[in-house]
Structure 1
Amino acid sequence: MKVTLIAGSNREQASSTVLIRYVAKLLEEQGFETEVFSLYEHQLPLYGPGEAYGHEEVLKLSQAVKSAQAVVLSTPEYHSSISGVLKNALDFLNSEYFEGKPVLSASSAGGSVGVSSLGALQAIVRNLHGLNCPEWISIGSDQRKFDENGDPSDQATELRIRKAVDTFVHLIRRIHA
């Protein structure tokens, strides 16, 4: 089964991007095919109703999400919400891309946690008819440190991420059983 992970930052080495690459690694260890779709690497035009749907990068995003059985969304937290580039990307997608698919939300915040952005993401997922995972990942402050292998430096953070990923995997397997 394939999981598409959308890295919702426009910075190459953003902690939310490093986090999503770690989540992809954990999913691969459990036998999933993964595709990390970085919004830094795939710069989309600004969304406008009926516009830019034929843009090459929009088509790549659409295909990446449509071909997946589950989705992970990762964002930095900006002003108590998700990044503009992630919101822009999600605006290009509708319920046909998320209908009945499990979705794990993840956030990386400069403060202690990124709960506001996670609440916003879950509301968007509900509106797109995706199935929110009951766990989410929120890292902040020193929890955003990763070693040279891309693993969390803090053991408690690693365990929290693993627990959320395990819950997500359980949800995927139950839905696709």
Structure 2
Amino acid sequence: MRITIVSGSNRKQATSTQLSVYLAKVLESNGVKATLIDLNAAPLPFYSPDVEHRDEHLNAYKKSLNEADGIVLVTPEYHGAPSGVLKNALDHVGFEQFDGKVVLSVSSAGGAVGVSSLQQLQTIVRNVHGVNCPEWISIGGEQRAFTPEGEPADSKTKDRVQRTVLYFLQMVRTFRKEEQPQD
């Protein structure tokens, strides 16, 4: 099984990116091939329907989404919304990448939780025919601390991530499109 994680921060050492790295470790510990697309490390060009982009980061991003059985979208919450970097990345793709795939939405907010960004991500996922995981992960305030080993310092946050990832993986297994035999 392949899962693509799209980390939508434009800041080095962002807690949303740290959480993305941790999610990749949790997925891999469950026997899943996880690919992390870090939009800070591999920025995408600004989306324009009038421009055909030939960009190695954009090609790798699309290829990873195309090959994924499930997708995790991770964003900081800015002004009650997902980051512009993540929204730009999502504007570059659509039905081809998301149709029928289970998507887990994740946020890291400076305040208590990032519910507004999660709701907006779920709206976007619905509009590209993805299947929203009813569980989500939102960390805020003190929950955004990580150990030197890259794990959430808060044990409740760590447990929440573990439970949510297992739920997400079960959904992916259920909804995954299997190759149809050729006639």
Q: TM-score, normalised by structure 1?
A: 0.97
* 1:90 matched residue in structure 2: 90
Partners of 2:170 and 2:112 in 1: CA distance: 28
Distance apart, 1:31 and its partner CA: 0.5
Percent identity over the alignment? 49
**Paired residues for 1:1-177 under 5 Å:** 1-176=1-176
- Cα RMSD of the aligned pairs, angstroms, is 1.1
Aligned positions, number: 177
Cα distance between partner residues in 1 of 2:132 and 2:115: 15
Deviation at 1:50, TM superposition (A): 3.5
The CA deviation string for residues 71-108 of structure 1, in whole angstroms up to 9 with x for no partner, is 00000000000000000000000111001111000000
Unaligned runs of 5+ in 1: none
Cα distance in 1 for residues equivalent to 2:90 and 2:24: 20
Quick one: which amino acid aligns to residue 33 of structure 1? K
Shift of 1:54: 2.2
Verify the 8 A CA contact 2:45 2:53 in the aligned structure 1. no
Structure number with greater Rg is 2
The one-letter code matched in structure 2 to 1:106 is V
Matched AA of 1:153: A
* Residue ranges of structure 2 left out of the alignment (5+ in a row): 179-183
